[in-house]
Amino acid sequence: MAERVSFPVAGTSVHVSGLLLQPEGARLLYVLAHGAGAGMEHPFLEALAGLLAQERIATLRYQFPYMEAGKRRPDPPHLLEATVRSAVDAGSKAGLPMVAGGKSMGGRMTSSAAAKHALPGVSGLAFLGFPLHPPGKPSTNRALHLNDADLPMLFLQGTRDGFARLDLLKPISERLEARATLHVIEGGDHSFNVLKRSGRTQEEVMKELVEAISAWAWRLA
């Protein structure tokens, strides 16, 4: 069962909560941020954390301040990035090697923070649906900062993800060369849901996500 924790956001008077799930024999900690519209207790993140625990990967899920306060509008980027940094600092107390990232906006804010200043103890960034552009508005501007995030990166992206056209994301991954790994989830949308006619179950998709994260993370260890 996950342990409830809390920590202050550096430079503010705000405290946010987190959920630390550290299985026996854990070898790695994934500092895992939520997306824009749902907090750390979203069923997707809950299920992912449980499956990662079976692979001896601990997780620290945490709230951004706006979600902690029950608001819908995300905080300004500087506050989101400060929260990422504070979560990494809180995670370091587990005494494990770390990777960081998260779902959609949470992953992008993690890489944005890493691009500005190194995240101490973090050896890689794992994105669960990188939000390259708004749906129907293709652009690559949101990826410009990735050149300055000098860490290995794992992009987990669905072929039906309206927030990231693969014909735009693949060249970005190629430009980052050895630093980037792109793992495509066939039939997945931005939430990694698949259509019934795909013949795949959500359990199979979750298993694929966990196996991809585990294989990539163990290469960094």
* Residues 94-111 pLDDT 10s: 999 999 999 999 999 999
Q: Of the candidates 108, 112, 85, which has an alpha carbon nearest to the alpha carbon of residue 31?
A: 85
Share of residues in the chain with pLDDT > 90 (%): 97
* Residues sharing a CB contact under 8 Å with residue 125, sequence separation 6 or more, in sequence order: 99, 100, 101, 107, 110, 111, 114, 149, 151, 152, 153, 154
Question: Which pLDDT does position 192 carry in this prediction?
Answer: 97
* Residues sharing a CB contact under 8 Å with residue 123, sequence separation 6 or more, in sequence order: 97, 98, 99, 151, 152, 220, 221
Question: Which pLDDT does position 60 carry in this prediction?
Answer: 98
pLDDT at 221 over 90: no
Reduce the DSSP state of residue 50 to 3 states and report it: helix
Q: Domain 3-220 maps to which CATH number in 3.40.50.360, 3.40.50.1820, 3.40.1010.10, 3.20.20.70?
A: 3.40.50.1820
* Residues sharing a CB contact under 8 Å with residue 207, sequence separation 6 or more, in sequence order: 51
Q: What is the mean pLDDT of residues 60-71?
A: 98
C-alpha to C-alpha distance for 65 and 71, rounded to whole angstroms: 9
pLDDT at 14 over 90: yes
Give residue limits of the domains in the chain: 3-220
Per-residue exposure over 103-130, b if at least 16 CB sit within 10 Å of its own CB, e if not: bbbbbbbbbbbbbeeebebbebbbbbbb
* Residues sharing a CB contact under 8 Å with residue 190, sequence separation 6 or more, in sequence order: 104, 129, 131, 158, 161, 162, 163, 164
pLDDT at 112 over 90: yes
Q: Does the global pTM surpass 0.95?
A: yes
Report residue 148's pLDDT band, with 50, 70 and 90 as the boundaries: very high
Question: Which pLDDT does position 198 carry in this prediction?
Answer: 87
C-alpha to C-alpha distance for 210 and 201, rounded to whole angstroms: 15
Whole-number mean pLDDT of the chain?
A: 97
C-beta separation of 156 from 127 below 8 A: yes
pLDDT at 114 over 80: yes
Q: Are strands 3-8 and 15-21 parallel, antiparallel or unpaired?
A: antiparallel
* Residues 178-214 pLDDT 10s: 999 999 999 999 999 999 898 899 999 999 999 999 9
